[in-house]
Chain A
Amino acid sequence: MAERTSTIADPGLADEGDRRIAWVEKYSPLLTSLKDGELRDGALAGKRIALAIHLEAKTAYLALVLAEAGADVTVGGSNPATTRDDVCAALVRRGVAVHATHGASADQWETELERVLESEPEIIVDDGAELVSRLVARKPELVANVLGSSEETTTGVVKLRAMERDGALTWPAIAANDAYCKHLFDNRYGTGESTVSAILKVTNLLAAGKVVVVIGYGWVGKGVAKYFDGMGARVVVSEVDEVKALEAVADGHRAASLDEACEVGEWFVTCTGGIDAIRGVHFERMRDGALVANAGHYGHEIDLDALRELATEVVEARGDVTEYRLRDGRRIHVVADGELVNIAAGDGHAVEIMDLSFSVQALSAHYLARNHERMRPGLNRLPEEIDRGIARAKLATLGASVDVLTPRQREYLESWR
């Protein structure tokens, strides 16, 4: 194997990084119990794992748990805006190879991801399919090494499905995102809480009474809408799927097309997973002082090029808030340059949520290591009994519990007569 090297900004930041990781460890009872239990069976020993997820303290703890299980872990960042240099330094000091720097240019980031791939991974823990798509497209000679991969996000699963359709996915990939213990909590409550918290933090404005337009009502949009409702905002949901729009109404929100909502909205949060959710036609009609933020996976849900074309001046109004002054005098405020607001302008999802998500990831990697030969190439689900096991373990840490069916009840449910 090649010599373990790392590409990071400043090894001197390791102490602060360690302190952040220690806080995460304290509120991650599941990962800690996996580290001390199930993952010690040797299945991951010596396995080369490449991991690219938003590189902050919680991700670092996942990397350390996998390393503790004996894996040879190499880490990259899934987005240079969300990489924390102090956490990278701490990981390197603890023997994990890292190629990631905060604020890296697009070219630099590509180089970093390439170096991660050069570790010749057998298992890939991916976010947005960044590593998988690059490996297949640019390093076809490395495909044969890969035993399997697991994917963190809805966006990544959509990409993998496209790869599968095109016959490009030749190994078993676990859609970690689709596990109950991932998307039902991480995408909904995790994104909801952290998105609202980040917007309040960077704006210092009042949510109560504000008309907040949530664009996209998938799991992320549902959470964002729910938490804004909890802060007293008046929530309007814009959807392209009529069933989801109806669901939004049943959840107590208003549903309106963005063409209608752009004139009444004060804050706009994109949660679509697509592109150009907010476009020039919308900026042209927004109220003075409107604020836009993105909670979706990529920074291109808000068409900033269109906004720039409308603007005569662009100034920083507060840290992480950019003010675009338009020709007609209106001001539009963009939070964190349209990057994922809860991570770029906050600390990301709550620790306890990522304890669930990363338990799914750790057990997916473990499952791949043990069972890759028996799995079919393409997208797979994490087996349901593992998923439910995570929920049971989490309930136990909360002092909560779950009932079991009586034999009679089970029999009733299984009979058809």
Chain B
Amino acid sequence: MDASTIGMIAFAAVLIMLALRVPIAFTLASVATVATFFIFAFRTGTFMPERAIKATTSMVFSNSFDLIHSYDLSMIPLFVALGHIAYRADITTKIYHAAKVWLTKLPGGVAMASVMGCGGFSAITGSSIACASTMGKICTPEMLRMGYDPRLATASVAAGGTLGSLIPPSVLFIIYGIFTETSISSLFLAGVLPGLLTLMGFVLVIAVWVWRDPSVAPSTDQRYSAGERWTAALESWPALLLFVLIIGGIYGGIFTATEAAAVCVVSATLIGFAQKKLDWAGLWAAVKETCVQTSAIFLIAASAKIFVAFVALTGVAGTIVGFVSDAQMSLVVLMLCIALIYLLLGMFLDPIGIMVLTLPLMIPLVESYDLNLIWFGVVVIKLLEIGLITPPVGLNVFVIANVVGREAPIDKIFAGITRFLSVDVIVLILIMSFPMISLLIPMAAR
């Protein structure tokens, strides 16, 4: 049996096992290990299992251990810890509070504040689902209490939560950086403008929605004095400081992304203790939550690394690149095909799963077209972000549905999401058509 045949069988096995609910990490590692064993065993033409065992286990160990035994990737547990610590230290909720106090007078102001709160939360944490789940608990019940239409109250937070993937720091960018060997700092900087563009688009959607149908967001009598507004704004300084440390530090070349993560974790902890919002028990709980979350992420990444090494052995990626070259596909058609694949997968799979499954095949293809991998990373993350709110498996939608319970059934949330999806599609087209939107800041930072 030749390597490419084993490769095809392995891909089919992966898809079947994933469909049968086998955890992504276990699927990738077990299939890659067994298939690699067969490739080595059949290498000389006859089946020789003895020599295959050593080669396979060495390959499996070196790929998984080297990934975990990494200095650069320590930014993942640190950024995840930053999110948990900032939440427990009340830093993330202050952003939403400040936005709400300033915008509450505007029609739909609390929904706009929710989206901005999500943007601010995303600037500190790296996870869309964490963003939707945390902000969903704070903003959605408040909007429902104020008489907001459940479609607006839920969809604004579900869509706002997706900003966590694009606005740095983002766990998805870090994982993309690992698998494509591109600069994670550059990826972070590349996500800033598309993230802000999406945020502004979401705010615009709310404004237009409320302008056309004022009943979806009843106005509130609650008014804040100028003093209260400035106090709320000033109280959100820790969030601003952390964002400036991350982006300013990386942009100014003062820190690497890993160092920015560590400095921010220590800063958030010190601020939390100084403001008496965080205690030792809270810190310990936040770090424990971080450990559980990151170990699950890393097991997927390590398994994917083994899978990538296996894919390289099979030569399947080369076959696909050859096939696409023979088809003489134009760049526009190629990008449309890639977008379609990611959007379809995004309807059924989670973002990390999609990335680790597709990147081993996509990257050689994209490199053969001489495309910029930083720009392509932003496109991929934007597509994955869209997948978080598209039916039938829009993870963020399920997170919000879980928070609000019967007050807003899934179909109602999806009905509200369509307006935000239109903005996502427009931003995606802009990012794909004008790579400078993504590349401007990384190029300026050089």
| A and B found bound together | no
Interface residues of A (CB under 8 A from B): none
Residues of B near any A CB (own CB < 8 A): none
